[in-house]
């Protein structure tokens, strides 16, 4: 059995610009009878960019990220993002020093203007006890495609 909480909030910081400031808070709990491949995971192009997809896997995952989407031209935009989170077997085992952090930036090319659909190119660095970096090419924004 699984439980998931995914809270997202979007703000327009400027009235006369299409820029967006987005926040996400994500928690997923896999109960004791969950098969190993269904455990909660972090890493990849959506949750904790900068680390290999599914690199961190355990019963409980918690994660927060923010992203600033700057629309530079009609079909070209940029994004700057940061996130932090961890996985653990139980909440009592969660420790601040085990948190993983990531930050990076990306390019957005609008391919369908009426749908506001982008191809995204993101480059992210992962920090903490383990360090990594990844390049991602995807369609649609991170907060729109939840795994």
C-alpha dihedral sign at 121, 141, 54, 62: positive
Q: 56-60, 107-111, 116-120, 138-142: which has the minimum mean pLDDT?
A: 138-142
Does residue 21 surpass a pLDDT of 90? Answer: yes
Q: What is the pLDDT of residue 97?
A: 84
- Tell me the CA distances in angstroms from 138 to 37, 56, 108, 111, 113, one per residue in order: 23, 21, 10, 12, 17
Structural domains of the chain in order of their starting residue, each with its CATH number: 2-144 (2.40.160.50)
Instruction: Find the mean pLDDT for residues 46-59.
Output: 90
Q: What is the pLDDT of residue 130?
A: 87
Does residue 113 surpass a pLDDT of 80? Answer: yes
Does residue 114 surpass a pLDDT of 90? Answer: no
Distance CA 48, CA 86 (A): 9
Instruction: Find the mean pLDDT for residues 50-74.
Output: 93
Q: What is the pLDDT of residues 79-109, one digit of tens each?
A: 999 999 999 988 888 888 889 999 999 999 9
Instruction: Find the mean pLDDT for residues 17-31.
Output: 92
Measured from the Cβ of residue 145, the count of other Cβ atoms closer than 10 Å reads 11
Instruction: Find the mean pLDDT for residues 110-137.
Output: 91
């Amino acid at each position: 059995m699984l439980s998931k909480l995914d809270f997202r909030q979007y703000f327009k910081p400027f009235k006369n610009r299409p820029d967006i400031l987005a926040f996400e808070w994500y928690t997923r709990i896999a109960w004791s009878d969950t098969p190993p491949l269904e455990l909660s995971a972090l890493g990849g192009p959506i949750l904790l960019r900068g680390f290999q997809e599914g690199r961190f896997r355990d019963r409980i995952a918690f994660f927060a990220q923010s992203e600033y989407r700057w629309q530079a031209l009609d079909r070209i935009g940029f994004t700057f993002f940061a996130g932090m989170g961890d996985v653990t077997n139980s909440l009592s085992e969660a420790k601040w020093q085990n948190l993983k952090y990531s930050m990076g930036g990306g390019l957005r090319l609008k391919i369908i203007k009426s749908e506001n659909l982008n191809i995204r190119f993101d480059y992210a660095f992962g920090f903490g006890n383990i360090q990594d970096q990844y390049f991602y090419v995807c369609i649609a924004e991170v907060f729109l495609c939840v795994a």
